């Protein structure tokens, strides 16, 4: 089981919470996952924030072992510009790995599943909120030609067009028991093969930009509601 806590001044904090609790740290983490390496100046420019505002957030991510100084480069005289990237083992620290259920679920496993599942959903929720803000901002644009231009260049639409998908599609959200089990079979078969492929590709090209955020999970929403009822509604 992955240890998902950070010991800091005798206070345990979830490593994912270090990212989640601050919108600035979430975006810094996201930028470094997308661009793989950025200088302090580049991060400040992309966020429109001062370096003094960003410094404590970058320091906390470094102290948590989630990002690292990847290199230092002379910019003028003896002044060094620091570049940052995701730490090599960062994803191992924030992602729950395999759990052995063969001997049942004890209290420790139960607690780890709770923490990891909540963190995974919270992290994805924050990423989704960036997407929601994008569309809300687009709705407010006064120029219809500007919004049309942005939509026409939307990567998901352009990519779909390139592989001959001629329509904009939203997958159905609620599944029957049979559909869920069929989805699991298809998903895990694909996921295992694809995970092996992208792991090899990331090892060969660690500095390649990653402009897409992918997530896939199914929520047993009926069970959530029936188990706790009005407590979660």
Same domain, 102 and 158: yes
Q: Are 20 and 57 within one domain? A: yes
Exposed (0-12), middle (13-18) or buried (19+): which is 116, by Cβ within 10 Å?
Answer: buried
Residue 126: is its pLDDT beyond 70?
yes
Q: Is the model more confident about 166 or about 203?
A: 203
The mean pLDDT of 100-105, rounded to a whole number, is: 73
Task: Reduce the DSSP state of residue 10 to 3 states and report it.
Answer: coil
Of 114, 140, 169, the residue at which a domain comes to its end is 169
Note whether 153 and 40 are same-domain residues: yes
pLDDT tens track for 55-71? 999 999 998 888 999 98
161 lies in the same domain as 70: yes
Q: What is the pLDDT of residue 16?
A: 62
Q: Please give the sequence-ordered ranges of beta strands (E in DSSP) within the chain, or none if there are none.
A: 5-8, 11-14, 38-39, 67-76, 79-86
Give yes or no: residues 159 and 224 share one domain.
no
Total domain count for the chain?
2
Distance, CA of 56 to CA of 207 (rounded, Å): 25
Output the pLDDT for position 69.
93
Is 192 found in the same domain as 181? yes
User: Which of 105, 92, 100 is CA-nearest to residue 3?
Assistant: 92
Please determine, for residue 80, whether its predicted confidence score (pLDDT) is greater than 50. Answer: yes
Q: Are 162 and 198 part of one and the same domain?
A: no
Query: Do 13 and 123 sit in the same domain of this protein?
Result: yes
CA separation for the pair 72, 53 (Å, rounded): 21
Check which CATH number belongs to the domain holding 162 and give it. Answer: 1.10.10.10
**Residue 73's beta-bridge partner residues?**
81
CB distance 200 to 162 below 8 Å: no
Query: What is the structure's pLDDT at 131?
Result: 82
Among candidate residues 121, 142, 169, the one where a domain is terminated: 169
Domain that holds residue 203: 172-233
């Amino acid at each position: 089981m992955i240890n998902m806590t950070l010991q800091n001044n005798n206070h345990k904090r979830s490593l994912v919470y270090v990212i989640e609790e601050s919108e600035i740290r979430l975006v810094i983490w996201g930028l470094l996952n997308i661009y793989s390496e950025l200088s302090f100046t580049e991060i400040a420019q992309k966020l429109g924030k001062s370096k003094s505002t960003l410094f404590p957030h970058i320091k906390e991510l470094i102290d948590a072992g989630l990002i690292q100084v990847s290199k230092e480069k002379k910019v003028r005289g003896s002044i060094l510009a620091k570049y940052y990237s995701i730490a090599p083992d960062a994803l191992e620290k924030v992602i729950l790995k395999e759990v052995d259920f063969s001997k049942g679920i004890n209290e420790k496993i139960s607690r780890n599943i709770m923490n990891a599942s909540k963190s995974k959903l919270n992290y994805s929720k924050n990423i989704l909120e960036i997407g929601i803000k994008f569309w809300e901002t687009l709705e407010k644009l006064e120029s219809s030609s500007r919004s049309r231009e942005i939509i026409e260049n939307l990567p998901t639409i352009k990519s779909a067009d390139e592989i001959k998908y001629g329509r904009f599609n939203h997958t159905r959200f609620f599944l029957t028991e049979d559909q869920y089990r069929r989805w699991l079979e298809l998903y895990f078969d694909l996921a295992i093969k694809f995970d092996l492929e992208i792991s090899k590709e990331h090892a060969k090209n660690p500095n390649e930009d990653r402009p897409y955020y992918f997530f896939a999970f199914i929520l047993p929403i009926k069970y959530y509601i029936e188990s706790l009822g009005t407590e979660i509604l």
